[in-house]
Amino acid sequence: MSLRDEKKQQTRQTLLDAALALMNDGRSFVNISLREVTREAGVVPTAFYRHFKDMDELGLALVDDVCLSLRKLLREERLKAQGAGHIAIKGSVMMFLLYVRQEARYFDFLARERWSGSVKIREAIQRELNHFANDLSTDFRLFPEMQNLPSEDLQMIADLVINTAINWCGEILSLPSQQVRLQYELSMRAVKQLRLIFVGAKHWRSEKTSNPSPNL
């Protein structure tokens, strides 16, 4: 990367960081102006337009940055523990919650803007959640105990896992960083929740196979 490209990347990151910093007091992203962001970043407004067309585009960049990295990390964790279901669950949960803590400002942004942001940002967040679920559904095929489940069942399980994981974000972010014991307890509860989801899914499928009534 050239010095010019590196400086451009630094300015872009400074603008992203500035937007997140302005949300620290509980403000919604839609209530933050472009001029506030550039003032916080220490750049002139014309510099903003070298990176983003408008504030919505900056918000979309925030969504992309955190979600693309998280998708990669989660997939690596699941593939690393392929064939050892309980280890895969625990490893993925621990890594996810650690990443949420490390990128707390991004996840606070995602949790807040998922329901109250601009239409473009809400749609982008939902698309990313769908990508997470699709990735997870595909990876489920790698585990012997789930290979015979139909695709619609795997997708349903994946959606449930993703929605459950989103709920953990608010909980882990609300815990003070020094509350290590409470963080660990949340992690273990999260692992148990996922195990129950998988046990319940397999039990439901077993009942459905043995009693294929359309009313069940």
Indicate the number of domains in the chain.
Answer: 2
**Can you spell out the DSSP letters for 73-102?**
HHHHHHHHTTT-HHHHHHHHHHHHHHHHHH
How do residues 16-69 score in pLDDT, each as one tens digit?
999 999 998 788 899 999 999 999 999 999 999 999 999 999 999 999 988 988
How do residues 177-198 score in pLDDT, each as one tens digit?
778 888 889 999 998 988 888 7
pLDDT given for residue 216 in this prediction: 45
Question: What mean pLDDT value characterizes the chain?
Answer: 84
Residue type, 194: L
pLDDT given for residue 78 in this prediction: 67
**Can you spell out the DSSP letters for 31-51?**
G--HHHHHHHHT--HHHHTTT
Is residue 169 in some structural domain? yes
Residue type, 14: T
Whole-structure pTM value = 0.81
Of 52, 71, 88, the position where a domain reaches its end is 52
CATH number at residue 48: 1.10.10.60
Same domain for 185 and 159: yes
**CA 86/CA 191 separation, integer angstroms:** 9
**CA 42/CA 124 separation, integer angstroms:** 28
Same domain for 69 and 21: no
How do residues 143-166 score in pLDDT, each as one tens digit?
777 777 788 888 888 999 898 888
Is residue 57 in some structural domain? no
Same domain for 73 and 38: no
Same domain for 191 and 143: yes
Same domain for 77 and 48: no
**CA 4/CA 78 separation, integer angstroms:** 38
Same domain for 71 and 32: no
Same domain for 138 and 86: yes
Segments forming the whole domain that contains residue 142: 62-210
